[in-house]
Chain A
Amino acid sequence: MDQIFTTALRFGDNAMVLGQRLTHWISRSPTIELDIAFGNLSLDLIGQANLFYELAGKLEGNGRSADDLAFLRDASEYYNVQLVEQPNGNFADTMMRQLLYVTYADLVFETMKTSPQKDLAAIAEKAQKEMIYHVRQAGEWVVRLGDGTDESHEKCQAALDNMWPWSHELFAYDDVDEAMVEQGVLPSAEHLKTQWLESLGEVFKRAGLIIRDDNWMPGGGRKGLHSEHLSYILEEMQVLPRTHPGAQW
């Protein structure tokens, strides 16, 4: 049960932190349509986080609500991959981070939705329907930027170079993940990475981008080790419930 709890929390945290990150584009996007799109993308992710947190709270059995899990944990108790806490950077950086993560999440949910763990399966089934739209949106933008002007191409390639090292952690499985593979909740890391690279490869080919891997593999987010960015994200996100415990409106 602990392992399911950890898995629910990890995917909840990935969605929560990425959703919170994306909200920062609202009112700052290149176009009003993107403003609206970022609002929707965030909403989907935060909604998914809520579902994972509700499940985690239920499994834990200590009465922690989804809000408690979102707002009353410190960075060291967050188990998201470091990829999703990376700064938004420019628009290309954000769309590249988005593409790397949502392509992964879509593939994970494909397995999770058929797992015998019914609660996780139900969330994954729901979330994947939303993720398919995210994958398309991110893919279309990466192609548009990569295959656009010289400047957009350069920025998009730089975004790939910037974000790529953080993607390795998606496949750095630990004991919990291996147990989840055995239970049919997660795909094996090897299988997942093959499919992920295949899906990304199609986008990068159209976008004219190349993967430049320098074998730097930062990680540890899924164990609670984070870059300094996460503390800032959480501080902003948590200030109200921390300052006014139990506030309602």
Chain B
Amino acid sequence: MGKQRPETANQIDRIWQVLDGVMDPEVPVVSVVDLGIVRDVEECKQGFNIIITPTYSGCPATLQIENDIAGALKAAGFGDAEIVTRLSPAWTSDWMSEKGRQALRTFGIAPPQKGSNVSKRALFGQDPLVRCPHCDSMETVQVSEFGSTACKALWKCKSCAEPFDYFKCI
């Protein structure tokens, strides 16, 4: 590189910027930062630790996300950054940013509701009220609690008759 590195705080800001350009491979409009996967950026002896947490235990995108993050950081001159997976506290959809939620909606996926742990604890709890991302109708119904990826459920709009994905609360 040759260039002198700016001070740590600036570097950490820069790393966050780089990470905000890394999109989730399954939802390519939401960055890993907006998704809440990146928990922290810490300075350590050999550089920086990027603390990440998986959305679901079996999320097959986890490895690709790590590779994408490492690649983006290397390209930005942070080749010594190390990715550290931390399980606790467990990821919750509440960590998704407002920007991320808006991007999901525009993409045609209904964003998760906040307050993730309230209703679904009940065995026969009510389904959440979900706004159709296509026509904004609240007349929607769940087709299946499990959708195209671990993080989504299948829903259908009764007003515009379109099916859509709902990003599950967890």
Contacts and interface: CB of A to CB of B under 8 A. Distances in A.
B123 A47 contact: no
Contacts of B91: 126
A69 B54 CA distance: 22
A50 B58 contact: yes
A94 to B, nearest CB: 15
A121 B88 CA distance: 8
Contacts of A140: 124
Given A118-B88, A125-B90, A51 B57 contact: yes
Interface in B50-106: 54, 56-60, 87-92
Given A44-B58, A48-B58, A132 B121 contact: yes
Interface SS, B side: loop
Contacts of A48: 57-58
User: Looking at chain A's contact residues, is the secondary structure mostly helix, strand, loop, or mixed?
Assistant: helix
A130 B86 CA distance: 17
A229 interface: no
Interface of A: 33-34, 36-37, 39-48, 50-51, 118, 121-123, 125-127, 129-130, 132-133, 135-137, 139-140, 143, 199, 202-203, 206
Interface of B: 54, 56-60, 87-92, 120-121, 123-125, 143-148, 150, 154, 168, 170
18 contacts: A33-B143, A33-B144, A34-B144, A36-B147, A36-B148, A36-B154, A40-B146, A40-B150, A44-B150, A47-B59, A51-B57, A129-B92, A129-B170, A132-B121, A133-B120, A137-B146, A143-B124, A199-B123
